[in-house]
Each structure stands twice: as structure tokens, then as C-alpha cells.
Amino acid sequence: MKIKGNQLKTSIALVLKGYPRLSETFIAQEILSLEKAGISIVIISLRKPTDPHTHPVHKKIKAPILYLPEYLFKEPIRVLRSWWQVRSNSRYKSARRIWLRHLIRDFSPNRVRRWGQALVLAAEFTTEIGHIYAHFLHTPASVAHYTSMLTGHTWSVSSHAKDIWLTPNWEKTEKLESCSWAVTCTNYGYRHLNDLVPGKTHLSYHGLDTKQLSLKNYSNILLHSDQGNLLRLLSVGRAVKKKGFSVLLEALSKIPKNINWHWTHIGGGSELEKLQELSHKLGLAGKVTWKGAQSQKGVFEAFENSDLFIMPSIIATDGDRDGLPNVLMEAASKQVCCIATDLPGITEFIRHDDTGWIVPSKNSRELTRSIISLSKDPAKRVRLAESANKLLARHFSHSENVQYIIELLKSNLDTNEDVIQDNI
């Protein structure tokens, strides 16, 4: 299936691991802003969606979607037809040589799959595509990188968290040297990538489009808190090890009985059943609600009915970690006080006793103390939430941060208008 369009190189091929995804609202938010800025986009998804819901923002996005074969053996004719077409390209041998070098260093089905997907993408390109832009430095960037070598198109990448810390340095270095530019969403990640290849990476926070979000009334927080009723705790995030929810459950189990609390978790994830088992083991079954994956509407309704938002992120044993989770900014937009851990990306937004409350990572005892302390001090919760909301508006505006990416992409389109003469 060819990507159809006009014959001018006016479109961006945006490579994503999956689309649409509930956990990647920040990407959908960016796509919509790019479209509003007049950039034509073709979404290239490496897999089909698996989430049961979509967000309202997805319905506003007009970009066509091309789904590449998630597993090559399921679409053998499409893959073989693409290989047959691309192999006659003058760039094919050089690209294949580099891929084989990568395969020797990373002999895995994943590496083969990315090459096959790049062959399909290269074969199904048409001339309106002027630049390739990938979200995430691991697999989407691999497909973008190989496709770039096969077609001669420039490419760029937006990097985030897991993709930075779990991709080997040799691979990150090669990709950064190959791409036109890279952006990342925390100063922590920026420093790391800039140390590998100086001058290639730029800092651009995701930010939040606060214009689409209503504000919460401070008096409602004070009124609820002063009544001495239920303390409503909330966490939003996939049930994976780096989120630290097992640490939070341990902390919750130590809250004294004289504090009436209830914790709600929103999100799917591979560790969900284990966490539910742990909550039963700790005697928390009646104190916890597992809501699973929710639409953006459901998430914001949960914010509006919460007193404390808790993000207990850790660095997992494999090195995976959070950058700056967008849910912290979403909580701030609803003026919900946040407790979070001291990971470098998180502390760029949640500043201890200023815009929230920071506790040491993996420290359940300190997390318990913080929940108890803030449960007794609603005025402090309001002060911290208000400060976070002001910081969000001042330095984490989506419209301001995305403008830099818009300018970079438009620059690539202008540069490439007459460069690619031999598209496949």
C-alpha cells in the first residue's frame, strides 16, 4: 500500500512504535500542534493499537496512518515485494552493510524486524515525504535510521526515558551522528546525549496544553481536607517496575489506622497482577482500586477527585527509569499536590517543598512519613499545588516548547525540497 499524496516534499513521516496509545498523550499532543502549524504528517506505526480506549486528542488528528508489519512472517509477500524493489536502489548495499554490522553486535529478532520494516517503509515511500521524524531513540529510531540510509532522506529523533537508558551507547552514538538533530524532554537526558555527541541534541520539554484544561478550585481542596474525611490518593502510570508501585504499596501498608485513606491506580501494564497480589498480601484489598487503562477524560476526572498524587518512580535493575512523566504536569494543571521521588528528570519540575514533595527513591518508610505529614496539612498541599501550577504555566507550556520542534521540522522540509531526486 503506497502512501499517497502530492508530488512535493511537504510531509513528515512520523515513526512511532504504536499508534494510538493511551500512555503517549504527549505524542498525540505534539502531532496535533504540528498539524495546526501547517505541517503535513504521515504516521508510520510499527504495530497496531492494543489499548481499549483513545483520547479526545486522537480524534482531532487528521494524519493518515501506515501500519508496518509488526511481525515479518505474518506479511511475507509484502516484505519480499519491498525487498525486491529496494535492493535495486544504489543505497541498498551500503545500508545493508551497516545493518549487518549492527546485527553482529545485537543478534536479535528485533534487529531483523526493524530492518524488514525499514525495507517496507522505503518501498512504500512516495515523493511527498521530505523528512523522517521518529519518537523514541530505540526501535522507532532504528527503522528511521535504516530507512534514511535506504532512501537518502534526512531524519531526526525525539528521545524520552527508557529509550535513552536502555539503548547501548554505541547505538545511540551512531544514531546521533547520523540524524539531522535530536530533542529530548529533560535536562538530565540532554546532558547524557550531548556528552555522547556534542551539539546534536536540544532540550524541549513536552509541556502541557493548559488551554484545554479547566482549573480546580482551591476552596474545594481545603473544604474536603478540613472535614477530616477520606484522604484520596491517586497514581497514574503503567504497572512496570520503574514506576515503583510496589514501594508505594509497602508505604501505604504502614499508614496508621487513624488516617482514613484510599488509593486509586490508573494504568495497565505487565506487573499489574503482581501488584494486585501484593496489595492483598499487605492487607490493602479494601483500600485500593485498580481502574486499569483509562481515557484522558477518566484520568482528569480522577485528578479532580484526589487530594494527593503520588509518583514513586525508581531506577529498575535493568537501568530503565522515568524522565519527566507528563502525569505530574497534568496533576499540577488540576492543582493536585504531588509526592514524587528524587530521580533527576522528575526534580526538574517537582522541587522539594516548593512545587511538590520529594522523597528518596525506593524508600517506603519516608514515603509513608510524607503521606502522613501532608494528610495533616491541607494548607501546605494547596501551597505546593499552586506553586506547581504557576511553574507549569511559566516554563512548561506545550505551545512554547513545541514551537522549537516545529521550526526544526520546517527547516528540514525546506532544505530537502530539491535534494531527494531518486526516491524509490
Do 234 and 132 fall within a single domain? no
Q: What's the pLDDT score for residue 210?
A: 65
Buried b (16+ CB within 10 A) or exposed e, 313-325: bbbbeeebbbbbb
The reply to whether 423 falls in a domain is: no
Q: What's the pLDDT score for residue 295?
A: 85
Could you tell me the residue range of the domain that residue 238 belongs to? Answer: 210-395
Predicted model pTM: 0.85
Do 170 and 232 fall within a single domain? no
Domain CATH number, residue 221 = 3.40.50.2000
Does pLDDT of 90 surpass 90? yes
Do 261 and 386 fall within a single domain? yes
Q: What's the pLDDT score for residue 184?
A: 96
* Spatial separation of the C-alpha atoms in residues 99 and 43, rounded to whole Å: 24
Highest mean pLDDT among 6-10, 47-51, 163-167: 163-167
DSSP character string of 152-164:
---EEEEE-SHHH
Neighbours of 41 (CB within 10 A): 20
Do 316 and 377 fall within a single domain? yes
| pLDDT tens-digit map of 119-162 | 999 999 877 899 999 999 999 999 999 999 999 999 999 999 89
Phi, psi dihedral angles at 291 (to 5 degrees): -95, -10
CA distances from 155 to 13, 187, 303 (A): 9, 22, 38
Number of domains comprising the chain: 2
Do 203 and 221 fall within a single domain? no
The reply to whether 5 falls in a domain is: no
| pLDDT tens-digit map of 284-343 | 989 999 999 998 889 999 999 999 999 999 999 999 999 999 999 999 999 999 999 999
Do 163 and 297 fall within a single domain? no
DSSP 108: S
Do 15 and 66 fall within a single domain? yes
Only one residue has cell 529533560, namely 186
CA distances from 8 to 133, 413, 414 (A): 18, 10, 11
Q: Could you give the dihedral angle defined by the CA atoms of residues 174, 180, 185 and 188, in that order, rounded to the nearest 10 degrees? A: 50
- In the chain, % helix, strand, coil (3-state, to 5) comes to 50, 15, 35
The reply to whether 221 falls in a domain is: yes
| pLDDT tens-digit map of 371-412 | 999 999 999 999 999 999 999 998 898 888 899 999 999 988
- Name 291's Cβ contacts closer than 8 Å, sequence gap at least 6: 264, 265, 266, 298, 302
Does pLDDT of 422 surpass 80? no
Do 22 and 156 fall within a single domain? yes
| pLDDT tens-digit map of 47-79 | 998 877 787 888 999 999 999 999 999 999 999
The reply to whether 6 falls in a domain is: no
Do 190 and 303 fall within a single domain? no
Q: What's the pLDDT score for residue 212?
A: 55
The reply to whether 3 falls in a domain is: no
Only one residue has cell 538533530, namely 181
Do 353 and 268 fall within a single domain? yes
Enclosing H/E stretch for 200: none
The reply to whether 422 falls in a domain is: no
| pLDDT tens-digit map of 192-227 | 999 999 999 999 998 887 665 544 444 344 444 444
What does pLDDT average to over the chain? 90
* Spatial separation of the C-alpha atoms in residues 114 and 264, rounded to whole Å: 38
Lowest mean pLDDT among 86-100, 258-272, 367-381, 398-412: 398-412
Do 333 and 344 fall within a single domain? yes
Do 241 and 314 fall within a single domain? yes
* Spatial separation of the C-alpha atoms in residues 129 and 149, rounded to whole Å: 15
Q: Measure CA 273 to chain center.
A: 23
Beta bridge partners of 392: none
Does pLDDT of 417 surpass 80? no
**Are the beta carbons of 208 and 324 closer than 8 angstroms?**
no
| pLDDT tens-digit map of 333-366 | 999 999 999 999 999 999 999 999 999 999 999 9
